[in-house]
Structure 1
């Protein structure tokens, strides 16, 4: 299937799509958002907080979402034109959108040896860049799309086609521009509680301080033996994914004779340790069907 032949516009495909973008400026203002909601039929929410950037979440049918994206792109172009009204013949800068996408889907978007992202660039004429680093306190990456509005709209359609065909793997920690490390820790502790309820096992996570310094440290905790397989995954795939997403080093100790638990040691910055703890707990809770409680 070619990049442009996405099939997303076929009426029989009743797909609900959610797209998250980092936005600021006039597009996030109430009147503009209200107009886009009404004319696109998409549900649009803006994250709360005092940060300059907000997360704009667009949900609806694929057509409704693309109508909203189109209106946002043309609004941004209009704002750029207003800013350069006295520029004479000087060409306007390109319109730029920053999508927020789970890191586990970015591999499909890039493709083997960068083939997919190259195809999208060439077929749409838009520039597409996937950030190398995770957005703070999250497992999501920024995907920057820039160009003229028509190119951006085509590009977003193709990106959406890829992410619809490649759902996110494991747990996703969504990016919040105003999220503090304390809130991330709260999120992690809530996920641990959920894991304990589902598995019927106590999971002894060592509590973390709120030190956001980049210095490396280690935390050790105990996990029941019957949860270890879920965390490691087939041929180590899940633990490798957790290491990559969190940036932490994770070591699982050998099983001791007569012990029903294994030592797990996480080494890294406080934030990477928090993310690793969250992901381990979230994945084990999500995969609880493979847990067999001890008699």
Structure 2
């Protein structure tokens, strides 16, 4: 975890940071230590969308109320890095707001499901591997102490994240347990700064999917399928045009899996009523776009009384169905996270 500030803290100052004391947060601020920390979080796209909020309103509020700098890595990646920098009290406020926001999301998602037990809030920190030994402690003593005193579950990944010298530390529990756990982890980070240079983990952009439909390759760019006229397309078209080789004496193809026209299949999914509008679009423009781009037949069932969901039936080849599903999910993600408005 990158760290800046005065690393030569006295025993008294370090003790004042220990979260075992209930008044830790006030002691940190009143102690005048002015220690600045940088903590990195690894989040999935949906989690990032929740933190950003519609038109960036949620993250703006978190920045203003916590006083911490909150930056979100850019790029078309399935994972993003959220960097929180500031004095310790600002860091804890920002973490509290994130933890409570995630709990709110869990509660909202449960109102539409049959689940009876509430899953815990989960955050993933990205920590330099050189600090993980201190976090685990001799024979696992430190991590056991943190678990027992906070009630949070803490797991340190055994392997480093790809192309980096950092490891993921997963924290699960109630928001209050997570906040106490983060405070204790900060103390360990202050007591044991990173050794040597840290190569930070940078999530790789999502590899652009190439989907074949009707003998043509398409790459997905945002919410659109763009024809992809490269060697892959030529090879695919060649394969589609070739008659499977039939050895003498055989009347069935030697490679029955290579079929120029795979049989049509059907896939069904349900969408909440309040989101169906973003799939249909004004006067059906969006659903017609998805039909045209995917080559699939898409039928949306009429609303039924007492049901909060609508059924969508997609018919076509597996490639058509995959592309239609992707485009529908892209529309939903854009609507739910407000990312399209940013």
TM range (shorter): 0.5 to 0.7
Structure 2 gap ranges (5+): 1-14, 207-342
Is 1:47 aligned to residue 73 of structure 2? yes
Is 1:19 aligned to residue 43 of structure 2? no
Find the counterpart in structure 2 of residue 32 from structure 1.
58
Choose which of 146, 152, 174 in structure 2 pairs with 1:148: 174
Which deviations, in whole Å up to 9, do the C-alpha atoms of 1:100-136 show, x marking residues without a partner?
Answer: 0000000000000000000000000000000000000
**4+ aligned runs moved over 4 Å, structure 1:** none
Find the counterpart in structure 2 of residue 139 from structure 1.
165
Which deviations, in whole Å up to 9, do the C-alpha atoms of 1:153-181 show, x marking residues without a partner?
Answer: 0000000110011000001000011279x
Is 1:163 aligned to residue 189 of structure 2? yes
CA distance, structure 2, for counterparts of residue 54 and residue 139 of structure 1: 17
Is 1:56 aligned to residue 76 of structure 2? no
Q: Structure 1 residues 131 and 28 mapped into 2: Cα distance closer, same or farther (>3 Å)?
A: farther
CA distance, structure 2, for counterparts of residue 68 and residue 78 of structure 1: 15
- The structural deviation recorded for 1:28 is 4.0
CA distance, structure 2, for counterparts of residue 72 and residue 11 of structure 1: 26
CA distance, structure 1, for counterparts of residue 200 and residue 185 of structure 2: 18
Native 8 Å contact 1:3 1:123 kept in 2 = no
- Which structure: larger Rg? 2
Is 1:173 aligned to residue 204 of structure 2? no
Find the counterpart in structure 2 of residue 237 from structure 1.
none
Native 8 Å contact 1:102 1:139 kept in 2 = yes
Find the counterpart in structure 1 of residue 93 from structure 2.
67
Find the counterpart in structure 2 of residue 4 from structure 1.
20
Secondary structure of the structure 2 residue equivalent to 1:106: helix
In terms of mean alpha carbon deviation, does 131-140 or 8-17 score higher? Answer: 8-17
Backbone CA RMSD of aligned residues = 1.9
Native 8 Å contact 1:104 1:169 kept in 2 = yes
Secondary structure of the structure 2 residue equivalent to 1:119: helix
CA distance, structure 2, for counterparts of residue 31 and residue 56 of structure 1: 16
CA distance, structure 2, for counterparts of residue 27 and residue 129 of structure 1: 23
Secondary structure of the structure 1 residue equivalent to 2:179: helix
> TM-score, normalised to structure 2's length?
0.50
> TM-score, normalised to structure 1's length?
0.58
- The structural deviation recorded for 1:31 is 2.1
Native 8 Å contact 1:42 1:65 kept in 2 = yes
- The structural deviation recorded for 1:3 is 5.8
Native 8 Å contact 1:20 1:56 kept in 2 = yes
Size of the aligned set, in residue pairs, is 180
CA distance, structure 2, for counterparts of residue 36 and residue 11 of structure 1: 24
CA distance, structure 2, for counterparts of residue 50 and residue 81 of structure 1: 28
Q: Structure 1 residues 4 and 50 mapped into 2: Cα distance closer, same or farther (>3 Å)?
A: same
- The structural deviation recorded for 1:50 is 0.5
Native 8 Å contact 1:137 1:179 kept in 2 = no
